[in-house]
Structure 1
Amino acid sequence: MKVLYKVAHFTGRFTSPSQWLFILPALVIITLFTFSKTVSADDNPYASNYQAQNQGNLHSLQSKPEPQLLSGTRRDDDNINMLENGYDLMGLSAFEAGDISPEQAISHGRSIQADMILVYVKKSGNATPASKMEVIKEAVKKGQALTEKDMAIDPGKYRYYATYWAKLPPPVLGVHVVKLVARKSSQEDEQPQVTDASEGVRVIAVIHGSAAEQAGVLRGDQLLSINQEKVNDAAALSSLVRRFKGNTVTINIQRQSEPLSLKVTL
């Protein structure tokens, strides 16, 4: 899976693991048993295929976290749920393999100090017993010799995809944003090229319980300015939030093409 956009985070607040049954209905908690076998990084496909997605040294605020493992359903929806509940993405693993123990995902999560792990498992497109039988019938029809290998059914393989998350400190503002840039026209397009970036930044997630949520900021809002100072990108937003921390400010947003001003206490 490619990362389609990079988000800037403004930290969230803690949520106890017991609350996840209520705040993340789209995710199902996996019950795990403790395995005594220790898996090395070289033998662990979750570790050998891990790709960090955060430039900073993001990890759990706990000294020795015990990661919670969840079975993901829809990646995009799950990512938004995680962001809204105050987590940020550390990295991901993607690979194809046979039957892999979930303990290996937990083991790698411990090594990178993750708080939450979302795992997606999908059956790979290998030969099924029915398709194997068709191959055998065709060979018999043509009078071809069959070996034990021909008769055997291939062991199942699966596509694994896992995301690793760390809980963030309590937020000042409490939004995740992305800068939208207008699409450039291709040479085949009749319309002239558009190179100007759109104003402000797009809110892709609002952290639950944050100042932004209490003020009425919604996912999808275009955040334009704080106290009349333009927000041109995520860095500008971060700088303004730090500067006005502890004050009540006016945030100008655009919601479904309509301008709106909100009071927010940072």
Structure 2
Amino acid sequence: MGATTAKKMLNIKTKVMLFSLFSMGLIFFVNQLYAAEVNLYAKNYKQQNTNNLKSLEVNPEPKIFVSNHKEDDNISMLENGYDMIGSSGFAAAEAPSNLALAHAKAIKADTVLVYRKYASAKTASSKLQLIKEAAKTGGEIDPNDLEEEPTQHQYYASYWVKLPMPLLGVHIIKLKQKVEEDAQEVIKEEPGLKIIAVIKTSPAAKAGIVKGDTLLKMGDVALAQPDDLFAAVKRYAGQTIAVALQRGDADVSTIVALGSRK
């Protein structure tokens, strides 16, 4: 290969590199511009419940936290007297967390938790590194390796409000399990209501009820479904009442001084 031909090949490679860098920069800029103009947190917001939960503040100034431990954070928020009012989930190249804060303020949330994780290994920096290595070694680049993948991150945000101190102070679920009967798999409900979180300083916490306990009975009301607990708390509000529960394999009884709504 002559010197002139080699020089032409080098110029072509240089132009390809510059064009690739320009393309990646342009796409990144467009993605950022789109994210700024369209609040993806607001666009993909879904209300969590139908109870019309509201902050104790008329116009709260929301706080934002960025984390990587969603499940632990959810329990912590419940234990501290918050409840989730909605969430946003979507895939995007870039979605600044300040947009989540803006949406939190718009819906009058007290706190927003933001999570981000990589959804694509082909980031702009990795492609740039690929081009640099090819230029250094004189190797060729597979065009497929330079194709832009707009979905680079998976975003999730949850929005929370601080609630008044509840009459009891527990968050519960109804557990079900799969069992085999007559060679068929059926789903059966487990007895009672499983506690997944106890609100700090609540009547339940003061009575020694803890996460993992199973509520079985309050007063003379058997607690088979969540509605049973709601009805019992309403019935015995403001009273000191016996509560039967299961802790591990042991049956436990405690006395709870339920709060009241004045």
Aligned mates of 1:67, 1:207 — CA distance in 2: 21
1:105 to 1:175, Cα distance in 2 relative to 1, 3 A: same
Structure 1 counterpart of 2:235? 243
Structure 2 counterpart of 1:203? 195
Structure 1 counterpart of 2:93? 98
Deviations 1:44-73 (A, max 9, x none): 000111111112212212111111101123
CA contact (8 A) 2:49 2:85 kept: yes
Letter in 1 for 2:194: R
Asked if 1:87 corresponds to 2:79, the answer is no
1:120-131 to 2 correspondences below 5 Å: 120-128=115-123, 129=125
CA contact (8 A) 1:41 1:47 kept: no
Structure 2 counterpart of 1:20? none
Aligned mates of 2:141, 2:75 — CA distance in 1: 57
1:102 to 1:91, Cα distance in 2 relative to 1, 3 A: same
Aligned mates of 1:103, 1:182 — CA distance in 2: 42
Q: How many residues matched?
A: 222
Larger radius of gyration: 2
Alpha-carbon distance, 1:156 to partner: 8.6
Structure 2 length normalisation: TM-score?
0.74
Aligned mates of 2:141, 2:217 — CA distance in 1: 77
Letter in 1 for 2:241: V
Structure 1 counterpart of 2:44? 49
Alpha-carbon distance, 1:193 to partner: 3.7
1:70 to 1:142, Cα distance in 2 relative to 1, 3 A: closer
Aligned mates of 1:58, 1:207 — CA distance in 2: 17
1:227 to 219, 222, 225: 219
Gap regions ≥5 residues in structure 1:
1-38
Aligned mates of 1:254, 1:111 — CA distance in 2: 43
Gap regions ≥5 residues in structure 2:
1-33
Q: Which structure would you say has the larger RCO, counting Cα contacts within 8 Å and 6 or more residues apart?
A: 1
Structure 1 counterpart of 2:205? 213
Structure whose residues are more often helix by fraction: 2
Aligned mates of 1:143, 1:221 — CA distance in 2: 59
Letter in 2 for 1:65: P
Asked if 1:265 corresponds to 2:260, the answer is no
Aligned mates of 2:156, 2:187 — CA distance in 1: 35
Letter in 2 for 1:44: N
Structure 2 counterpart of 1:170? 165
Structure 2 counterpart of 1:9? none
1:150 to 1:72, Cα distance in 2 relative to 1, 3 A: closer
1:111 to 106, 122, 141: 106
Letter in 2 for 1:226: M
CA contact (8 A) 2:88 2:156 kept: yes
Structure 1 length normalisation: TM-score?
0.73
Aligned mates of 2:46, 2:53 — CA distance in 1: 13
**Helix, strand or coil: the match of 1:220?**
coil
CA contact (8 A) 1:226 1:250 kept: yes
1:178-197 to 2 correspondences below 5 Å: 178-185=173-180, 192-197=184-189
Alpha-carbon distance, 1:121 to partner: 1.5
1:150 to 1:210, Cα distance in 2 relative to 1, 3 A: closer
Aligned mates of 1:109, 1:60 — CA distance in 2: 11
